[in-house]
Amino acid sequence: MTSTREEIEQGLAENRESPNGSARNAHAEALAGAAEASGDRALFRETLDNLINAYLYSSESSKILVPFARLLQEYDKDPAAFSEWEAHSLFWQFKWVASAISDSPGIPLESAVGWLEEMERRYRVAGYSERPVREAELWLAHMTGDDERAERAFGRWLAADRDDMSDCQACELNSQGQYAVLHGDDSEALELWKPVLTGDLTCAEEPHRVLATSLLPLLRLGRTGEARSHHLRGYRMARGNESLLPTIGKHIEFCALTGNESRGLEILAEHAGHVGPLANVDDQLAFHGGILVLLRRLEELGHGGSPAIPYEGTPRTVSELYAVLYAGSLGIARRFDDRNGTTRVSDRFQDRIGREPLLGALPLGVRSAALPRGRADVTTHVPVPDRQPDPPGAAVASPSGFSELVERARRARDLGHPGVDALWAEVAVRLDARAEPDPLVSADLADHRALAAARRGDEEAPELLAAVRDVYRALGRAERAALAELRLAGVAARSGAAPADIRALFRVAALAAEALDPAEPSRTRRIALVELSVIRVESYLRSLEAHHDHGNGDDHDRAHGHGEVVAELTGFVDAYDDTVPDLAAEAEEMLGRLALSQGDPDGAVVLLASAAARAVAAGRPWQAVDPLSLRAGVLMSLGRPDEAEAAARTGLDHAAEVTDAEAQGAIRLTLADVLLRRGDAVREAAEHALSGAHWFDQAGLGADGGAQARLMLARAYARDDRTAEAAEVLQSALPDLLEHGEEQAVSGREFLGDLLRELGESRPAAEQYLLAAEAAKGWENPRPQANLAHSAAEALAGAGLAVEATAAYERALELYRLTGDAPVPEVRVLRSLAWLGLREEITDAAVARARTLMDDAAGVLDGALASDPEDPQLRSELAQTWHQLAQVLDRRVSEDAADDDTEDGTGTVADTAVGESASRPGPTEKLGDARIEALRVEEIELWDRAAALYAELGQDHLRDRFQCLNNAAWTEQERGRPEAGAAMVSALVDEVRAWPEGTAPDWLLPSAEHLLTQLAR
């Protein structure tokens, strides 16, 4: 280990910037050892302080006692050696030690109480409030089961004054809210936490912890939307933070109790490296407790034998991991109980891991891999209403017996009700329990299973349907046998059989339908169903044959085929409108889709509306959902948003009984899209997009419709200023969106980059922009790639990566110039490059390069203005370029003055420069008085020119104009000409006072008059 003071100080600087964790702790320990060996007491104190802070923000926080005791010894030896800041830090750390001792079962209770008394004594002697002492006493008393003492300490805590030793208000409110939860008052806790949750009060670990702690109280109060939001925001903030493992455990527990076990497993996997024995056993108990809630829930769902995560290098199933974590956690809890003389800790642990789910399913919006179906999984279906299809509204009692259940299932089947599967499933269960099965019921069940196999495309579907047909024939149910014939033809068409074979099967089906007794009620329906099926299939077969005979065919053949289908469908609608209106509605929906495919959206809108109306009138509102959803999308493309919204809302209403998850997802996605485009209903749009994503996940389409719904949800959240939630949702959907084509991949990455940049995550934002730019590299139009390179450059600059940012800016400039028509972004890149070059040092060479770049920017604008001299944006950019060039020159002058240890006055131009680093670069070459004067004169000329142009551009640029005058006035004062600067400002004041009343912004005159007062001093 290095031992010189300089090397140790360098090590300390590096250690403070290192990520929290065991590696940082080990380095901090080595630095403390080296400092002690050096004999430099001041340096040793500094390394001890660093070690305490390193331990605190890790899973080894319980280790702070030893370095703190050493530091306290140093203080007792020579208090005068401690600076005011060092002494304050020492007393502040006493609070951490009090918590660490309380949370360490290996430290006897008497010692814990002794340390608390020592803290109280030292605070009293030092003149500090007892407030932190009473808080520490509260939690020690609670842990030991002394509730009376805890209540007294709580009261004295709140009554004591706040002072320099008090925890930040965010942390105090966290603790006060937790105490309210322990007393069963969730509402009071949430009220206490409100300033933290809203971001009014924050610190290094808040609102991270409060967001997680609020999850279960919110669920218990039914505030599920807030709980979802807090999970998405809070987990994003806590993810990967070693000192927040108990917080991570709360997020895992939340997932387990809301039907999001898959999400909980993903979070567990992300933190698998921390699942094991921790130095801080209290954190271990809290972290593992949340994991155990999840593992127990997974066992209940039948996933005990599924892989979980490794534990200490050994792969574990869910049940195996539960067993090892339970044993370890219970052992810790009992160690606390043994020390405290109470079962408080183990009782609370058992209560926690025994919690039952608070919700069956709470959609979170983020993408999670579905769990395999376990033995306890239950699929819920929307129940079929107890109503006869004809006449509508005729009441039917709920089935109390088997016969009534069968009749209800048959009515639902004949009606085409979406809930029919659930009814036949119940019939199957009851039939198995009957001693003498009814042959017709058995045939109906076989028919239902054969139809399901056909829809799935199973190979055995034709065989099953043929068997059903034969059974129905034997039972004398010709109308059911005829339907089986039609289904056989349909299966052949879907399986790609030869056209001749398909047509032959449809002829058989048609003959079977026509052969039915004229008195058979379903005869007309069977005939119509065959006709509609033939129209649909013949359209496909004709196009297939045309392609085979003539290659791709020609426009005439396609138009002729289209006209034939339209005529057939129109004839079908006219023929069957009165007798089988639901099939007429289906045919009309096909007509609407054909119209849309032929470029007739106006015609499609009319046909789709009519199809939906027919379906509703036929007593099949669920059949109206698809045409209404499609109609809403077409109406939006036609610029008729109000009608689109009405169609989508009606479709959603009619979807109440639909059990098909994909259809449920589609209508919600449509309505969300309509509302989001409307712009003033983003919260409702988010609700529908969230629900849509959930339904697509249920349908197994999370990577398809689910990805689109999540993208829409992220956009809605972003527009509602819920940026962290938007980023979390979009990041989860991005892998799926990348598979949806190049354009979707580019736009998805760009959107994520925008969100991350807004969150201050500059490096990851730049990564997304650069990946998007790479994906757009081969596009004919270079503008999108240029924009992405520009965004990446700004993000890289924000991350302090000047070299990488410069390269990205230069690439963006190259691409903008390739477009031949991007003067505004081109000059913005040039100005950014100018400022970026001044980050490291403000030398004559750096300023000269910045001046050249600013001049280049002005030249680009001059060229563009030659074609359009009155373009307001170009003129504004030119004024801004002069403005910024003046600021560059002023930075050079100010840097020279700073090297002379001179101080800028209030309002100096240096304070207003844009795009520069917060830290001052290194020393510069000295300027002579003549050069300083020349630069100041040039600055004033540039600001005067910019202000004049801003004045021409009107009131939208008043702030820019005032800033130029402010800068010029202060520069005149620096030249020893304050009256010249005051004259500039006074001229503006006189001008503004002459304006009509109410036209000047409220801030302008007060700001100008204040500036005049400052200049006069």
Q: How far apart are CA 170 and CA 206, in angstroms?
A: 6
Task: Kindly tell me if the per-residue pLDDT of 555 is higher than 60.
Answer: no
For residue 756, what pLDDT is reported?
98
Task: Kindly tell me if the per-residue pLDDT of 396 is higher than 50.
Answer: no
Residues shown for the chain:
1017
For residue 400, what pLDDT is reported?
57
Of 93-107, 180-194, 282-296, 345-359, minimum mean pLDDT range:
93-107
Phi, psi of 578 (to 5 degrees): -85, -35
Q: The tokens of 682 are what? A: 């983003």
Task: Kindly tell me if the per-residue pLDDT of 549 is higher than 70.
Answer: no
Q: How far apart are CA 339 and CA 105, in angstroms?
A: 6
pTM of the model: 0.85
Task: Kindly tell me if the per-residue pLDDT of 546 is higher than 60.
Answer: yes
Task: Kindly tell me if the per-residue pLDDT of 379 is higher than 70.
Answer: no
- Which pLDDT band holds residue 397 (cuts at 50, 70, 90)? very low
- The β-bridge partners of 387 are 395
Distance of CA 1011 to the CA centre of its chain: 45
Task: Kindly tell me if the per-residue pLDDT of 399 is higher than 70.
Answer: no
Nearest to 802 by CA among 756, 768, 839, 829: 839
- Residue 207: is the preceding peptide bond cis (ω within 30°)? yes
Tens digits of residue pLDDT in 31-52: 999 988 998 999 999 999 899 9
Cα 380-382-386 angle, rounded to 5 deg: 130
Q: Which residues contact 571 (CB under 8 A, 6 or more apart)?
A: none
The mean pLDDT value for 879-898 works out to 91
The mean pLDDT value for 752-777 works out to 97
For residue 918, what pLDDT is reported?
37
Cα 619-625-627 angle, rounded to 5 deg: 105
Phi, psi of 588 (to 5 degrees): -70, -35
- The β-bridge partners of 395 are 387
- Which pLDDT band holds residue 383 (cuts at 50, 70, 90)? very low
Task: Kindly tell me if the per-residue pLDDT of 169 is higher than 80.
Answer: yes
The mean pLDDT value for 505-526 works out to 95
The mean pLDDT value for 732-736 works out to 96
User: What torsion, rounded to 10 degrees, do the Cα atoms 987, 988, 991, 995 define?
Assistant: -170
For residue 380, what pLDDT is reported?
37
The mean pLDDT value for 405-418 works out to 92
Task: Kindly tell me if the per-residue pLDDT of 917 is higher than 80.
Answer: no
Tens digits of residue pLDDT in 671-712: 999 999 988 899 999 999 999 999 999 999 999 999 999 999
CB 759 within 8 A of CB 741: no
998 in helix, strand or coil?
coil
- Which pLDDT band holds residue 430 (cuts at 50, 70, 90)? confident
The mean pLDDT value for 66-70 works out to 91
Name the more confident of 389 and 310: 310
Q: The tokens of 656 are what? A: 């109440």
Task: Kindly tell me if the per-residue pLDDT of 493 is higher than 70.
Answer: yes
Q: How far apart are CA 953 and CA 958, in angstroms?
A: 9
For residue 903, what pLDDT is reported?
40
The mean pLDDT value for 274-294 works out to 95
Residue 609 burial (CB < 10 Å; 0-12/13-18/19+)? buried
Q: Which residues contact 757 (CB under 8 A, 6 or more apart)?
A: 765, 791, 794, 795, 798
317 in helix, strand or coil?
strand
Q: The tokens of 380 are what? A: 């819920």
Cα 442-444-445 angle, rounded to 5 deg: 65
For residue 596, what pLDDT is reported?
95
CB 53 within 8 A of CB 15: no
Distance of CA 971 to the CA centre of its chain: 48
CB 725 within 8 A of CB 232: yes
Residue 235 burial (CB < 10 Å; 0-12/13-18/19+)? buried
Question: What is the Cβ-side half-sphere exposure of residue 556, based on CA atoms within 13 angstroms?
Answer: 1
What type of residue sits at position 500?
A: A
Q: How far apart are CA 1001 and CA 551, in angstroms?
A: 71
In 221-371, alpha helices (H): 224-238, 245-256, 261-270, 281-300, 318-340, 344-353
Task: Kindly tell me if the per-residue pLDDT of 754 is higher than 50.
Answer: yes
Nearest to 562 by CA among 602, 582, 535, 589: 535
For residue 554, what pLDDT is reported?
56
Determine what percent of the chain is predicted with pLDDT higher than 70.
93
For residue 562, what pLDDT is reported?
78
Cα separations in angstroms, 558 against 163, 537, 561, 596, 601: 84, 16, 5, 15, 19
- Tell me the angle at which helices 723-737 and 224-238 cross, rounded to the nearest 10 degrees: 80
The tokens 């959930």 sit on which residue? 694
CB 219 within 8 A of CB 203: no
Q: How far apart are CA 786 and CA 819, in angstroms?
A: 9
The mean pLDDT value for 499-521 works out to 94
- Tell me the angle at which helices 783-798 and 802-819 cross, rounded to the nearest 10 degrees: 160
266 in helix, strand or coil?
helix
Q: How far apart are CA 191 and CA 176, in angstroms?
A: 11
Average pLDDT along the chain: 90
The helix (H) or strand (E) run that includes residue 993 is helix 978-993
- Which pLDDT band holds residue 762 (cuts at 50, 70, 90)? very high
The tokens 């913005």 sit on which residue? 828
The tokens 């660490």 sit on which residue? 100
Q: How far apart are CA 258 and CA 251, in angstroms?
A: 11
For residue 577, what pLDDT is reported?
94
Name the more confident of 541 and 468: 468
